[in-house]
Amino acid sequence: MPIKTTNDTLNNLPIPERISYIFNCYAPEEILITSSFGTSSAFLLYHISRFNTKPDVHFINTGFHFSTTLQYRDELAHLFGLNIIDVKPDFEDHSYTEYEKLWQRDPDACCELNKVSPLEALKKKYKVWVTGLMAHQSDTREKISIVEVNPAILKFNPLFDEDPTKITDKLKKLKIPLHPLLEHGFESVGCMQCTDRGVGRDGRWQGLNKTECGLHNFQKKD
């Protein structure tokens, strides 16, 4: 089925049916699910956890995460019955970025070594990549769709049309714990050195000409 036809069909389906579609099309071992365990991550994980057959969830552990994020990861893994696999950067690459404090003078290179490269190696083992991206999270993400043809792997964004400002209320209604930093003004959480308080993604890479880590390649706005 052409991608446009697939997207048109899935657009009209609720999230559980969208995820069911992918689970029916691919075997669990063919599905790569990643989560940052950020402030909105629990919403996608909740929906995935409701299926009897659940693929592993991969967490890119850069070595620079807040301890509260790691605790939140473990809490959600226990709550949802998920098997979490840490994806870590090459030891020498990570040591280099730490020693040089690369996030200060070249944050793109820091992200490349600690996030992008480890994931690129992992993607080669799978056919489809399930993400929690939402089009309304930022200007760079506004053109995403449910299914996207990526050079390396098919991308599946079942939450693409969700309103990120309403995710917190939905999690509360579901009685799902929130990321501990949310109540302290951190609406988007990444690595410690590059995360500050802020609305939406405004707290990420403050003062730098940078809005994304590089894990996702977005089309520029017209």
Beta strand ranges found along 35-182 (DSSP E): 57-60, 84-87, 128-130, 147-149, 154-156
Query: Contact at 8 Å (CB) between 75 and 204?
Result: no
Beta strand ranges found along 90-153 (DSSP E): 128-130, 147-149
Query: Contact at 8 Å (CB) between 43 and 162?
Result: yes
Burial letters 118-149, b for 16+ CB under 10 A, else e: bbeebbeebebbbbbbbbbbbeebeebbbbbe
Beta strand ranges found along 121-200 (DSSP E): 128-130, 147-149, 154-156
Q: How far apart are CA 21 and CA 17, in angstroms?
A: 6
CA distances from 204 to 13, 98, 160, 207, 220 (A): 32, 19, 20, 9, 19
Catalytic residue among 110, 191, 194, 213: 213
Q: Is 194 among the catalytic positions?
A: no
Q: How far apart are CA 195 and CA 176, in angstroms?
A: 23
Catalytic residues: 213
